Amino acid sequence: MTESQVVCPLCGSLLSLPVDAITGQVIACPRCAGSRLRITRANGGPSVRPVPTASCTVCGESLDLPDSVLPGDTLTHCGILQ
């Protein structure tokens, strides 16, 4: 099995994906501080896109959101609807 490479959409760096990478897996760009990227499929091959995030209003934890999130969507964390 060969290693796949993708371009970080945030900084333009070439990233090597793990050989066992799967669609939906989240990786980090080592050059973008704190960026998280979700592996997707585009044009017949692997691609990555930034993971939408939000901070919990109670504990401050950064939460990964699904790609389908829309403005105004709510979530529950720390037992509270946010």
The pLDDT score that the predictor gives to residue 1 is 40
In whole angstroms, what is the distance from residue 78 CA to residue 82 CA?
A: 9
The pLDDT score that the predictor gives to residue 59 is 93
CA distances from 57 to 12, 50, 51, 70 (A): 32, 22, 19, 18
Q: Kindly list the averaged pLDDT for each block of 10 residues, start to end, along the chain of length 82.
A: 82 92 92 90 89 91 90 88 77
The whole-model pTM stands at: 0.78
The pLDDT score that the predictor gives to residue 2 is 54
